[in-house]
Amino acid sequence: MNENVVDLVGLLRSEVEALMGELGEPAYRGRQLFHWVQARRTRDVNAMSSLPRGVRAVLVEHVGVSRPEVSRVQRSLDGTRKYLFRLEDGEEIESVLIPDDGRLTTCISTQAGCPLACRFCLTGLMGLRRNLRAAEIVGQILALQERLEQGERITNIVLMGMGEPLLNFTQVERALRILSDEQGAHFSPRRITLSTVGHIPGIQKLAASDLGINLAVSLNATTDAVRDEIMPINRRWPIAELLGACRAYPLPNRRWLTFEYVMLDGVNDSREDAKRLVGLLHGIRCKINLIPFNTAPDLPDRASPRERVEVFQRVLHDAGLTATIRESRGWDISAACGMLRVEKENA
């Protein structure tokens, strides 16, 4: 897209209305334009037939509608699809579509790479390349919607792809407001989940906002000694402070926090860990998602044996906690949790 034009994909509805106002048009024209871009996914301004011809002629000079370019698609035996997107400056990111039980969940990225270097995560090995712009976050959803099969509809969005969403708060917030706008793609915030390593200022900002999305926290350990080792961010915001922020998080009625817990063999998967976890989460309305570790040659850890994951789950259940074991999806195409890393081909 030409640098001198405004990318409509990253604008809030109110901003599109203001832009139309500058052209001397009433607000409802802005609403129509937003609808064309976000709901109908029309990229060609000239095809936006409800707008007067004269308005379209002026708009064409000033606006554009971007899309990330799909550079590769991989399809798993279980129906999961992974998309590699190339952005305008050549950076690459990944998104995943996961069909499951009548739902179609999309897992999207918020950064190219990630600065946090969790020991068990492949994206962490890349380091941070850069934050994504709101248009690039929204663009993943628009591009995926254009590639759905007959009868498919995206039902859920999880911000669990590449990157730490709370380190890119402003653009993530903007993207979520655009995606949930009733004149746009209109995703209910209840069907959107943001997953974080536990960036406390970000959790507080989210708590103070009116976004109304679900929060998942990647806890992954029950002692600071272990969490410091596997998630360096813990040295800055240790477990007690993190759980304090979770306790202070205002949960709407009938909503739950989610704690994610990647099961690493001999690291965080003992019966004692499970018992400690029960103690730590006391009084927090939450569900626990136990995630089987997805191994990779570049990662030092091994996966916990299934029996140990089940024992861990049983201890949580016996204490009255809700704990599920996440099924590993898209494993055969490296689309599973923590497997997103752009593989550079050996030229």
What is the binding site for ligand SAH (CB under 6 A)? 120-121, 160, 164, 195-197, 218, 220, 260, 262, 291, 293-294, 337-338
Distance, CA of 9 to CA of 45 (rounded, Å) = 13
Over the range 100-125, which residues count as b (16 or more CB within 10 Å of their CB) and which as e? eeeebbbbbbbbbbbebebbbbbbbe
Known active-site residue 152:
no
* CB of 32 closer than 8 Å to CB of 184: no
Closest distance between ligand SAH and the C-beta of residue 58, in Å? 41
* CB of 129 closer than 8 Å to CB of 114: no
Radius of gyration (C-alpha) of the chain in whole angstroms: 21
Closest distance between ligand SAH and the C-beta of residue 346, in Å? 23
When the beta carbons of 19 and 337 are compared against ligand SAH, the nearer one is: 337
Closest distance between ligand SAH and the C-beta of residue 13, in Å? 27
Structure tokens at 278: 């029960």
When the beta carbons of 55 and 194 are compared against ligand SAH, the nearer one is: 194
Q: Which residues pair with 239 in a beta bridge?
A: none
When the beta carbons of 19 and 290 are compared against ligand SAH, the nearer one is: 290
CA–CA distances in Å: residue 30 to residues 14, 41, 196, 247, 256 = 8, 15, 34, 41, 37
Handedness of CA 312, 317, 322, 328 (dihedral sign): positive
Q: Which of the residues 94, 164, 173, 260 is marked catalytic? A: 94
Closest distance between ligand SAH and the C-beta of residue 30, in Å? 34
Neighbours of 67 (CB within 10 A): 17
Burial of 203 (0-12, 13-18, 19+ CB in 10 A): buried
Residue 232 phi, psi dihedral angles, 5° rounding: -55, -25
When the beta carbons of 143 and 160 are compared against ligand SAH, the nearer one is: 160
Longest dimension (CA), the chain: 70
Neighbours of 49 (CB within 10 A): 9
Distance, CA of 243 to CA of 239 (rounded, Å) = 6
Known active-site residue 164:
no
Closest distance between ligand SAH and the C-beta of residue 218, in Å? 4
When the beta carbons of 63 and 323 are compared against ligand SAH, the nearer one is: 323
When the beta carbons of 113 and 139 are compared against ligand SAH, the nearer one is: 113
Closest distance between ligand SAH and the C-beta of residue 330, in Å? 12
When the beta carbons of 8 and 160 are compared against ligand SAH, the nearer one is: 160
Beta strands in the chain (DSSP E): 6-7, 63-64, 69-75, 81-86, 92-100, 103-107, 111-113, 128-131, 156-159, 192-196, 214-218, 257-263, 286-292, 322-325
First to last CA, the chain: 28
Closest distance between ligand SAH and the C-beta of residue 34, in Å? 29
For ligand SAH, the nearest residue by Cβ is 338
Which residues are known to be catalytic?
Answer: 94, 337
